[in-house]
Amino acid sequence: MIEDDTVTDESLLARIAFGDVEALGVLFRRRQQSVFRFALHLTGSPAIADDVTQDVFLAVIRDAGRFDPGRAIVTAWLCGIARNFVRRRLGVAREVASIDDDAFDGPMPAVTPDPLMDLTSGEALEALRRAVLSLPIKYREVIVLCDLQEMTYEDAASTLACALGTVRSRLHRARALLTSKMQAEHKGNEGASGVMKRFIA
Amino acid sequence: MNDQQQRRLTEGLRALAETSRTACASRRVEESVLAEAQRLWGEREGGRHFSSGRWLPLAAGFVLAVVGAIWGARATVPASRGAVIHPSGFVTLPSAYGLPEIESASIIRIQVPLSALPAYGLTAPDALTDSIEAELLVAQDGQPRAIRLVNDPPDTRSRP
């Protein structure tokens, strides 16, 4: 039996490459959340995030032997696979990325101690969520990886298969776009939300 | 974007990240993935055994042994003629004579029709069933060399 905490992701992948179902189960339980959240933030749809997570680990079953530990950490590699599946799905069902889509209506667990702050923050966060989802995909990816998943720039570069400088420049551009979108939304709802000003002051 | 905007945006993104901190794939995803792995690797496992050719000569040897034994029985050769009892109670199959000596062997358990036992050099026990379990001693070349019955009454034990 595999001790969950002592075996590295790389060792698990090596075992998976030889058909070890138990290792696959351990890796799934350890990393599925990163993959799911990445897909969820990119698409706004828990159902699609579920499907992408499944696709990613099915790909792991087939291609675990192709993982190169010298090029990326396992989480970055998994998110890189997830990125391809997300892009494919967004290409097929582009409306999912639209801010008008009701995919954003799905419940998201909020963690804040103050009920009053919860209400007001929720309004602002929903606006921010919509703004993230309306970003062009290449900017959305860096925001999700670096800001929402707290991945290092190096790992994000591995995930996106691009240079470190590209991650930095995209992130800078993405944040500027987000700010501008939040300002535009605020102007559209002038007076409706004082909380919105917190982000654009 | 000024520093204050940058700071507030960062705070907002952190709060947004917090809203999905506990989000995870549904249970059915894990079940589907593991089921697919078991299906795929189970098939591959079966394929490996087959492709390695380990069972092919064994099966061929078994068929040859049965055919040879039946041929011998039809030729009214006494079943016990020249049979050798191995220390473990195995009886040499008629078809095994002339084959190279055993260097290493495996034992496989099979179900044998009672009517076929004489062809193997064995006496059929009085049993209510039509078949009985037996063990085949299969040599390194995949050819079966000897047979013994499993859990048969003492008086119907294989004999030369």
The alpha carbon of residue A72 is apart from the nearest alpha carbon of chain B, in Å, by 23
Contact B19 A125 (CB under 8 A): yes
Q: Which of B124, B132, B139 is nearest to B65 (CA)?
A: B139
Strands B105-113, B91-92: pairing kind: unpaired
What lies within 8 Å, CB to CB, of B76 at 6+ separation is: none
Say which residue, A185 or B29, is predicted with more confidence: B29
Residue A12 pLDDT more than 80?
Answer: yes
Contact B34 A24 (CB under 8 A): yes
Residue B151 token pair: 């859990």
Query: For B40-68, what is each residue's pLDDT tens digit?
Result: 888 666 544 444 444 555 555 665 666 55
Cα–Cα distance measured from residue A113 to residue B106, given in angstroms and rounded to the nearest whole number: 68
Contact A54 B16 (CB under 8 A): no
Q: For the ranges A51-60, A158-167, A184-193, B67-76, which has the lowest average pLDDT?
A: B67-76
Q: Which of B71, B148, B73, B154 is nearest to B110 (CA)?
A: B148
Q: Supply the pLDDT for residue B150.
A: 79
Q: Which of B7, B2, B16 is nearest to A124 (CA)?
A: B16
Measured over the CA atoms of residue B110, residue B114, residue B115 and residue B121, the dihedral's sign is positive
Residue A89 pLDDT more than 60?
Answer: yes
The answer, for A24 touching chain B at a CB cutoff of 8 Å, is: yes
Q: Supply the pLDDT for residue A188.
A: 66
CATH fold of A1-98: Rna Polymerase Sigma Factor; Chain: A (1.10.1740)
Q: Supply the pLDDT for residue B71.
A: 56
Contact A179 B5 (CB under 8 A): yes
Q: What is the residue extent of each domain of chain A?
A: 1-98, 110-201
Cα–Cα distance measured from residue A57 to residue B32, given in angstroms and rounded to the nearest whole number: 10
**Residue at token pair 């294989």:** B158
Q: What is the CA radius of gyration of chain A?
A: 18
Say which residue, B85 or B23, is predicted with more confidence: B23
Q: What is the mean pLDDT of residues A24-29?
A: 96
Task: Say if residues A80 and A158 touch (Cβ distance below 8 Å).
Answer: yes
Residue B28 pLDDT more than 90?
Answer: yes
Mean pLDDT estimate for chain A? 81
CATH fold of A110-201: Arc Repressor Mutant, subunit A (1.10.10)
44-103 of A, contacting B, C-beta below 8 A: 46, 49-50, 53-54, 57-58, 61
Q: Which amino acid is at A151?
A: M
User: Chain A residue with minimal CA distance to B14?
Assistant: A148
Q: How many beta-carbon pairs under 8 angstroms link A with B?
A: 116
Extended strands (E) in chain B:
91-92, 105-113, 131-139, 144-149
Q: Which of B133, B88, B76 is nearest to B109 (CA)?
A: B133
Distance of CA A132 to the CA centre of its chain: 11
Q: Which residues of A touch B7 (CB under 8 A)?
A: none
What lies within 8 Å, CB to CB, of A65 at 6+ separation is: A17
Q: pTM of the prediction? A: 0.59
Q: Which amino acid is at A141?
A: E
Query: For A155-164, what is each residue's pLDDT tens digit?
Result: 999 999 899 9
Q: Which residues of A touch B45 (CB under 8 A)?
A: 19
Contact A19 B44 (CB under 8 A): yes
Residue A184 pLDDT more than 50?
Answer: yes
Cα–Cα distance measured from residue B35 to residue B6, given in angstroms and rounded to the nearest whole number: 46
Cα–Cα distance measured from residue B113 to residue B132, given in angstroms and rounded to the nearest whole number: 6
Residue A90 pLDDT more than 90?
Answer: no
What lies within 8 Å, CB to CB, of A50 at 6+ separation is: A36, B25, B26, B28, B29
User: Chain A residue with minimal CA distance to B16?
Assistant: A125
User: Chain B residue with minimal CA distance to A182?
Assistant: B9
Q: Which of A71, A73, A74 is nearest to A26 (CA)?
A: A74
Task: Say if residues A9 and B18 touch (Cβ distance below 8 Å).
Answer: no
Residue B149 pLDDT more than 70?
Answer: yes
Q: Which residues of A touch B46 (CB under 8 A)?
A: none
Question: Band of the pLDDT at A123, cuts 50, 70, 90?
Answer: confident
The answer, for A37 touching chain B at a CB cutoff of 8 Å, is: yes
Q: Which residues of B touch A19 (CB under 8 A)?
A: 37, 41, 44-45
| Among A33, A54, A201, beta carbon nearest to B4 | A201
Q: Supply the pLDDT for residue B44.
A: 64
Query: For B102-124, what is each residue's pLDDT tens digit?
Result: 777 888 888 887 777 776 767 77
Residue A198 pLDDT more than 60?
Answer: no
